[in-house]
Amino acid sequence: MSSSATSAVLKIDWCSHEAAKYAVEHWHYSRSMPASKNLRLGAWEDGKFVGCVVYAQGGNYRIGDPYGIAQTEAAELVRVALSAHKTPVSRVLAIAGRFLRKSCPGLRLLVSYADQVQGHHGGIYQASGWVYVGQTSPSYEFRLNGKRLQKRAYTGIMFDGAKMELPPGATRISVPGKHKYLMPLDDAMRAQIAPLAKPYPKRLCAVTSTPDGTPDRVGGATPTTALHS
């Protein structure tokens, strides 16, 4: 596809940990690269690196339980970190999903959450055809000097059940549940989760976004052939 004033040639391929870390620390609101094992897909427009999409695999040992699949058959979309770009984020996610389907045949399901605390309702997932299955239960998080801490590190959900010491001065804050979205990667999984689909939630708070529903704050061991738009 040739470039124009309003479009660009998009390429999705594996990227290094260093490239993904740079993107997350500069272009994602969390400024934090996940510590768990992950799958890192880079995005290039007209040959220029514009960011990454990161999927965690292995951090949540129960991620596949509700769907009767193994932990290794599901991955969680944990970061979409993009600099200035022309391609809608929903298209980046759609092509990234096709790349994973081709590159990781044992992977059957992608899971993602839209954090209401950040004003997110999942517009990018809705625009790229993810299945909405409702909200998670209300929960809590830890904050220190107004900043969110990585909850999993202090609850033993990851790192083989080991817990880190909560920093002095950290407080526990109640938070609403997150919107949960699923993207099946094979026909059998799509049929299995279809009955779980619920109407897409609407954005309830004033968060500015791009035309494709992207909030302003959104900022593989064996290589395979890259996918292009």
Retrieve residue 213's tokens.
């529903």
How many C-beta neighbours within 10 Å does residue 67 have? Answer: 17
pLDDT of residue 68: 96
- DSSP designation for 185: S
pLDDT of residue 151: 58
Alpha-carbon distance of 79 to 91, in angstroms, equals 15
Quote the pTM value.
Answer: 0.77
How many Cα atoms sit within 13 Å of 125 on the Cβ side? 28
pLDDT of residue 110: 97
pLDDT of residue 36: 80
pLDDT of residue 162: 62
How would you class 203 by CB atoms within 10 Å of its CB: exposed for 0-12, middle for 13-18, buried for 19 or more? Answer: middle
Q: Of 145, 77, 74, 143, which is closest to residue 113 (Cα–Cα)?
A: 77
pLDDT of residue 218: 38
Q: Of 112, 117, 135, 113, which is closest to residue 199 (Cα–Cα)?
A: 135
- Residue ranges of the chain with per-residue pLDDT less than 50: 1-5, 159, 206-229
Dihedral sign for Cα 44, 45, 49, 51, please: negative
Retrieve residue 94's tokens.
């759609």
List all residues 6 or more positions away from 173 whose beta carbon is below 8 Å from its beta carbon.
140, 141, 142, 143
- At 40 the three-state DSSP class reads strand
pLDDT of residue 137: 85
Question: Which domains are present in the chain?
Answer: 10-112+183-228 (3.40.630)
Retrieve residue 123's tokens.
């517009």
pLDDT of residue 161: 55
pLDDT of residue 225: 41
